[in-house]
Every structure is written in C-alpha cells, then in structure tokens.
Amino acid sequence: MAATTHLLRRVFVWELPVRVYHWVNALSITILCITGYLIGKPPAFMFSGEAWERYWFGWIRYIHFATAYIFVFNFIFRLYWGFVGNKYANWKNFIPTNKKFWAEIWQVLKIDILQIKSGGHMSVGHNALAGFIYFFTFLAFVVQVITGFGLYEAMSDNWFAKLFAWVPVLAGNDMLLRNIHHLFMWFFILFTIIHVYLVFYHDYVEGRGEISSMGGGWKFIEEEEFHHHQKEEQKESKK
C-alpha cells in the first residue's frame, strides 16, 4: 500500500533565547539534582588522611549554590521572554485563559495519553497539556528557589540571598524547608523522565522533528495542517 505523500512546511518555532534557556535549565537542573542528592545523602568514603587535605563536600555544595544562581536568573529571563518572545514562547501557552485551552488539554489526553482516539494532534508549539504542566514546573521552580535560598540566606551576605531572609522566619524551623526542598527534587526527576519519554513519543509517532526542534528551532508540519492553522489564526485575529 502506498502511503499518502505529505509535503512538509518548515516552521520556526523556538527562538534562540528559548532554546538557550531550555538547555541551560536542563543542565542546571541536572547538576542541582545530583549535587542536591549528594548533599542530602553524602556517600561514605574511607579516608586515612587529615580533614584539611580535602574539600569535596565543600565543592559539591559550592557547585550547588553557584548553579542555583544560574538557574534562578535563567528562569527570570524566561519569564521576561514570555512577554516579549514569539507566540510560541508567550505566557498564554502555560496558563489556561480560555475554553479552547481546556478543550485542547482534553484532546491531548484522549489522543496521546489514554489513546482512546486516533490521529495525531495538531499543536505547533507546546500542546495545551504540556504547556499547563510546564506551568506547574514553574511553580516548582519557585518553591525550590524560595526554600533553597531560604536555607542559603543565613550563610550569605549576597543581596539576592538576603531577599529571602523572611523564609526561615515564616517556616519557623529550617528542617521543614530542607524537607520540602528535598521532596521537590523528586518532582524534577519524575518530570525529566516523563518529559524525555514524551518527546521521543511525539517524534516517533508524528515524525515532525520534535526532538531536533530544541536544537535548531524548526518543526515540520504537513501542508494541510499548515493551512488549517492559518485559518485558525485568521479566525482568532478577527475576534
């Protein structure tokens, strides 16, 4: 059987700042999770020398704190880009502001997750469900930044760290902050597992360059899908 041949249109979806943000974020979260886990559960080493001869735990903590700064300013930059970037980077991709958003979430659930409906879905940028889940990751970022810098604040004179001086006061006991901070690390680990899997899934099922899009910024969509989106956009702008 000969399959229908599709002409694909190349669409520039992810601008360079979005791509840079994505990989800085991915790398810093990876580093933060690894160093964070080690800080919570340092491995046991046998060592016969003197304490002054090494500083590995100090370095692990140093890397964790330095990466935290990169992570938080990278995140702040992304929030800014949500207002000035292209339509795929806009903040409206992450927060359900209309009925259409909810309808699309349900659509994605039926097609991709529960698979009770066939067909490929048609989002060009983030699909609505992905966008909404990224919104929760942003909330998790905020929780980690608040609890993390709240714990860090007491040992730093840095102005940014001092902005979080209210956190330990509010929590009462630093141990609580530590527990929350530790538990949320697992949110990132779970998110990463699912995120990477779903990117492979979309690439595999749809063949539209999902994986490579975060490299060059391009996605490829079928000619008829392209025209469909064009019409949708026109309808939107008429409203």
Partner 1 sequence: MSSRNERKSYYEELRHSGYSRRDFMKFCATVAAYLGLEASGVSQIAKALQDKPRIPVIWLHFQECTCCSESFIRSSHPIVADILLDKLSLDYTETLMAASGHQAEKCMRDTMEKYKGEYVLCIEGSVPTEADGVYCMIGGRTSMDILKEAASGAKAVIAWGSCASNGCVQSAKPNPTGATPIHKIIKGVPLIKVPGCPPIGEVMAGVLVHIITFGTLPELDGIGRPKAFYSKRVHDTCYRRPFYDAGLFVETFDDENAKKGYCLYKVGCKGPTTYNACGVTKWNGGTSYPIQSGHGCFGCSEENYWDAGALYARAQPFPGFGIESDADKIGTAAAIATGVGIAAHAVMTNLRKSKLIDDVIEEGKEAEKEL
Return phi, psi of residue 114, to 5°: -80, -25
DSSP 164: T
By CB under 8 A, tell whether 227 contacts partner 1.
Answer: no
3-state helix, strand, coil in the chain (%, to 5): 70, 5, 25
For partner 1, the binding residue among 82, 120, 216, 217 (CB under 8 A) is 120
Residues in the chain: 239
By CB under 8 A, tell whether 168 contacts partner 1.
Answer: yes
Contact by Cβ (8 Å): 147, 180: yes
Angle separating helix axes 128-152 and 56-84, nearest 10 degrees: 140
C-alpha–C-alpha distance, residues 119 and 76, integer Å:
37
By CB under 8 A, tell whether 82 contacts partner 1.
Answer: no
* Structure token pair of residue 121: 């879905």
By CB under 8 A, tell whether 56 contacts partner 1.
Answer: yes
By CB under 8 A, tell whether 17 contacts partner 1.
Answer: no
Q: Which stretch binds partner 1 (CB under 8 A): 19-27, 74-82, 136-144, 183-191?
A: 183-191
C-alpha–C-alpha distance, residues 156 and 76, integer Å:
21
For partner 1, the binding residue among 27, 189, 199, 214 (CB under 8 A) is 189
CB atoms within 10 A of CB 75: 19
For partner 1, the binding residue among 1, 16, 83, 234 (CB under 8 A) is 1
- State the sign of the Cα–Cα–Cα–Cα dihedral 36, 40, 44, 47: positive
Taking the least distance from each CB to partner 1, the nearer of 57 and 80 is: 57
C-alpha–C-alpha distance, residues 161 and 154, integer Å:
8
Could you tell me the CA-to-CA distances from 104 to 96, 101, 131, 173, 203 in Å, in that order? Answer: 10, 5, 11, 43, 19
Taking the least distance from each CB to partner 1, the nearer of 18 and 150 is: 150
Least separation in angstroms between CB 18 and partner 1: 26
Taking the least distance from each CB to partner 1, the nearer of 134 and 201 is: 201
For partner 1, the binding residue among 204, 223, 228, 233 (CB under 8 A) is 204
By CB under 8 A, tell whether 83 contacts partner 1.
Answer: no
For partner 1, the binding residue among 6, 92, 227, 228 (CB under 8 A) is 6
Indicate the SS3 state at residue 133: helix
For partner 1, the binding residue among 10, 12, 23, 40 (CB under 8 A) is 40
Least separation in angstroms between CB 196 and partner 1: 10
Least separation in angstroms between CB 152 and partner 1: 11
Residues that bind partner 1 (CB under 8 A): 1-6, 37, 40-42, 44-45, 47, 51-58, 60, 113, 115, 118-120, 151, 154-155, 165-166, 168-169, 172-179, 182-183, 185-186, 189-190, 193-194, 197, 201, 204-207
